[in-house]
Structure 1
Amino acid sequence: MIRFWGQPRYSREPLKPIGYELFLRENLNGLWRVPNDFSRFTPCQITNLLKKTAPQLSQGMQRVSINLDIDQFIDSRFYRAFFAVKTQLPYLRISIELTEHSSSQIISDEQLVLAAKHFADANLHVILDDVGSGDNQINRVELLDPYVTEYKFAVQNFRPYESLNDIMPNLLFWHQLAAKHQKLFTIEGVESKKDLLILSHCRVDMLQGYDLGKPVYLPTQDDAVVVNADRCV
């Protein structure tokens, strides 16, 4: 059985929760675990679960983002499945986070741009996750610029450090690039009041991290339902 766990995303001013980043979790022998292989879950499984979860979200928390690795991102089945959810649940604000993970296959710039265009044309916002880490470097940022709405900067990817001030030049580079490209900018990995105090001087758009809110179980309309892997309903 799979379910979403959601980590709240906070607006900076005022500091309040406005939605969730959704993480897929699998129940094995009564324990919720991170799946070993996300690729075995089909677009229909994921979007069917989203349709069962969305009606339970409280008002004001209906902005959700879902991570896709690049292999999933360029797979047109994901675009079509999420577009169907967007059509059926127009109140739900769905963003797709393109992760920084590498692919085992060769993916062309043309494939990546076309996929980003499909999502953006369907009003499914594209977020570049963990900019400055993995494959989400400046070349990809420039390539996808017309179709991306937000950058996320993960401070946890730069640990260990004594203080958040130690990585501030890197953070400010991406913050300034987001402003230049007119993108939203989110800092994730906020894990202490000290982090929040330092970041209070950065006029970012959103914040996320354990100090603000840990991932929580999100119930579905019927927690007895096991998502059907064979067809979209």
Structure 2
Amino acid sequence: MMDKQRFEHVYQPLWDLFNWSIFGYESLLRVNGINNVEHLFQKAREEGCLYELDVTSLESSIVQFPFLEKKGRLLFLNVYPSTVLHHEFKPFLKRVVERFPYIENRIVFELNETKEEEGIWKDEELKAAIAWMRRYGFYIAIDDVGKGASTLQKIIELQPDYVKLDRYFAQGLAADEEKQKMVSLLTSYCGRKMVLILEGIEEEVDLAQAKLLRVPAAQGYLLGKPGKLPLAKDRYW
């Protein structure tokens, strides 16, 4: 299953709502012959090879993304906290940067939340690993904020560069004053320290409301569905 030749990636755009431009793409894994990628990762966890699958996906996404053609655009990559803490992860990142020096300051690692890894978030070594990644030219995002019970605590303690607000808040935003208050509160909190990204935008009226609330960035089917990009010219397998 970890044959790189079977890995494909689709990329969904993230929009800057102030300048009305694409500033990045989130990479989403597709594997030939596998209908549910989440089940594949769960199976890898059960078999004790989650780290290997995770970094194989990261590497193939980096290779397939046309960094040189998409100048200035960020690449958002999902990663498990356990992968970040793995003893081979730092050497892996160093090898990737050495091979592709132009990715510096172009990659955002989205930390995935799972029940199996909830305890890892409290590990001081995770904070240290994140600090190291930042020094090495990578950015950090916390995904699905508002979905888990302790995501606000994680924002305060980890101070990510990007905060991705769960799609729940985008759905029906224009008609829900309580959601508007919460989105406004988080927008104010993030300020200039972090970039708040509202996920799951599917309706024009909700996009308009997000802009009225001064949400700086958004992602969703209305703004662009996941799709293939022209193949990178520097693929190496």
What TM-score do you get using the length of structure 1 for normalisation?
Answer: 0.79
Q: Where does residue 30 of structure 2 map in the other structure?
A: 25
What letter is aligned with 1:144? Answer: L
Trace 1:105-116 onto structure 2 (pairs within 5 A): 106-107=119-120, 108-116=122-130
What letter is aligned with 1:63? Answer: L
SS at match of 1:36: helix
Cα distance, 1:135–1:116 mapped onto 2, change above 3 Å? farther
Q: Where does residue 196 of structure 2 map in the other structure?
A: 185
Q: Where does residue 108 of structure 2 map in the other structure?
A: 95
Identity %: 23
SS at match of 1:216: coil
Higher relative strand content: 1
Say if 2:170 and 2:201, in contact at 8 Å, map to a contact too. Answer: no
More relative contact order, 1 or 2 (CA 8 Å, 6+ apart): 1
Cα distance, 1:56–1:137 mapped onto 2, change above 3 Å? closer
Q: Where does residue 81 of structure 1 map in the other structure?
A: 92
Shift of 1:42: 3.2
CA distance in 2, matches of 1:135, 1:87: 38
Shift of 1:58: 3.1
SS at match of 1:177: helix
Render the CA deviation track for 1:55-100: whole Å, top value 9, x for unaligned.
Answer: 4773246410111122223224334323432343233300101123
SS at match of 1:129: strand
What letter is aligned with 2:86? Answer: D
Shift of 1:132: 2.2
Unaligned runs of 5+ in 2: 1-5, 45-49
Unaligned runs of 5+ in 1: 228-233
Q: Where does residue 47 of structure 2 map in the other structure?
A: none
Deviates more, 1:56-65 or 1:93-102: 56-65
Q: Alpha carbon RMSD of aligned pairs, Å?
A: 3.0
| 1:176 and 2:188 are equivalent in the alignment | yes
Higher relative helix content: 2
Cα distance, 1:159–1:44 mapped onto 2, change above 3 Å? closer
Say if 1:190 and 1:210, in contact at 8 Å, map to a contact too. Answer: yes
Cα distance, 1:167–1:112 mapped onto 2, change above 3 Å? same
Say if 1:70 and 1:103, in contact at 8 Å, map to a contact too. Answer: no
What letter is aligned with 1:175? Answer: T
What letter is aligned with 2:37? Answer: V
Shift of 1:136: 4.9
| 1:37 and 2:50 are equivalent in the alignment | no
Render the CA deviation track for 1:77-135: whole Å, top value 9, x for unaligned.
Answer: 33432343234323330010112323257434312212211211211101111222215
